[in-house]
């Protein structure tokens, strides 16, 4: 597995990864910003030249927020999600970021377990955030 910064030419691959895996996929322009916007960044995971996962995040002052983490269905449970989060944390630490936030659907056990394993703890709930009866859990990690 190779983890490297997201590049503009990755956008189509990132859209393919989101398709069917994310309830509210990011638009093409939103994904392109990961490689363009000075307050956003992302990492892609590659296996033999194929993009198998990505993480996108934004940061300002000393705080960051992880927007999306997606791993190709065929490549899950091999540590790619964890490696992407570690790459993001390492990069953000170098930028002087102190803490990273994210929100995750209460019923998304895979993502909740991944974030817990990566050192995130929950600190609040947003009721009905993803629609009626579907709460978001807010998590934070001090880095």
Beta strands (DSSP E) in the chain are 2-5, 40-47, 50-60, 63-71, 99-105, 121-126, 136-142
Maximum distance among all alpha carbons in the chain?
A: 42
Output 97 or 102, the one with its CB closest to ligand COA.
102
Counting contacts by CB under 6 A, is residue 11 touching ligand COA?
Answer: no
Of 50 and 96, CB closest to ligand COA: 50
Query: Do residues 122 and 138 touch, judged by C-beta distance below 8 A?
Result: yes
Do 99 and 89 meet the contact criterion of CB atoms below 8 Å apart?
no
Does 109 bind ligand COA (CB under 6 A)? Our answer is: yes
Please state, in angstroms and rounded to a whole number, the distance separating the CA atoms of residues 127 and 142.
24
Shorter beta-carbon distance to ligand COA: residue 99 or 117: 117
Choose which of 76, 86, 101, 129 interacts with ligand COA (CB under 6 A).
76
Q: Which stretch binds ligand COA (CB under 6 A): 4-12, 30-38, 72-80, 126-134?
A: 72-80
Q: Among residue numbers 32 through 71, which ones bind ligand COA (CB under 6 A)?
A: 68-71
Shortest separation between residue 79's beta carbon and ligand COA, angstroms? 4
Closest residue to bound ligand COA by CB: 81
| Phi-psi group of 68: left, alpha or beta (phi > 0 → left; psi -120 to 50 → alpha; rest → beta) | beta
HSE-up (13 A, CA, CB side) for residue 99 = 9
Chain residues binding ligand COA by CB under 6 A are 21-22, 68-71, 76-82, 104, 108-111, 113-114, 117
């Amino acid at each position: 597995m190779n983890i490297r910064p997201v590049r503009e030419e990755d956008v189509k691959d990132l859209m393919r990864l989101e398709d069917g895996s994310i309830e509210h996929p990011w638009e093409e322009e939103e994904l392109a910003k990961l490689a363009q916007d000075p307050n956003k960044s992302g990492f892609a995971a590659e296996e033999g030249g194929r993009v198998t996962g990505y993480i996108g995040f934004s940061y300002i002052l000393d705080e960051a927020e992880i927007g999306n983490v997606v791993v190709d269905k065929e490549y899950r449970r091999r540590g790619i999600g964890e490696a992407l989060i570690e790459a993001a944390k390492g990069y953000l630490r170098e930028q002087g970021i102190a803490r990273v936030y994210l929100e995750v659907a209460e019923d998304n056990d895979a993502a909740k377990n991944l974030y817990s394993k990566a050192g995130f703890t929950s600190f609040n709930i947003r009721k009905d955030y993803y629609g009626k009866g579907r709460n978001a859990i807010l998590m934070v990690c001090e880095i």
